[in-house]
Amino acid sequence: GDSVTQMEGPVTLSEEAFLTINCTYTATGYPSLFWYVQYPGEGLQLLLKATKADDKGSNKGFEATYRKETTSFHLEKGSVQVSDSAVYFCALNYGGATNKLIFGTGTLLAVQP
């Protein structure tokens, strides 16, 4: 079945370091891909998305490119801040009859000053 695999956390970085959080997926069709962020004590917020191969989603300095050939959607940011500390979830879904948003297990990012 369809699934999403994320790198294990926690990821601990110093402020202004480069961030990569790996995400790969298994899907039978052509899903849309998402990154969600969850700050402590809050719900999930959509961070960015990509709907087809080679699309790049970007928001708040974060980027991810939909790579069909490697079935990946890695999250990157050039310079992290303490305020980026949160749990990041990679997810996929399809339209039509299959409506489930399938999440990865989440990756905790801790940015130290």
Partner 1 sequence: DAGVIQSPRHEVTEMGQEVTLRCKPISGHDYLFWYRQTMMRGLELLIYFNNNVPIDDSGMPEDRFSAKMPNASFSTLKIQPSEPRDSAVYFCASRSTGGFSYGYTFGSGTRLTVV
Based on the shown chain and the rule CB under 8 A, indicate whether residue 3 belongs to the binding site for partner 1: no
Based on the shown chain and the rule CB under 8 A, indicate whether residue 101 belongs to the binding site for partner 1: yes
Residue 74 beta carbon to partner 1: minimum distance, rounded to whole angstroms: 18
Which residues lie closer than 8 Å to 47 by C-beta, 6 or more apart? 34, 35, 36, 37, 59, 60, 62, 75, 88
Based on the shown chain and the rule CB under 8 A, indicate whether residue 65 belongs to the binding site for partner 1: no
For 90, the token pair is 């990679």
Report how far residue 58's alpha carbon sits from residue 70's, in angstroms, rounded to the nearest whole number. Answer: 19
Based on the shown chain and the rule CB under 8 A, indicate whether residue 93 belongs to the binding site for partner 1: yes
In the set 43, 69, 70, 113, which binds partner 1 (CB under 8 A)? 43
Based on the shown chain and the rule CB under 8 A, indicate whether residue 51 belongs to the binding site for partner 1: yes
Q: Of the ranges 14-22, 30-38, 68-76, 77-85, which one interacts with partner 1 (CB under 8 A)?
A: 30-38
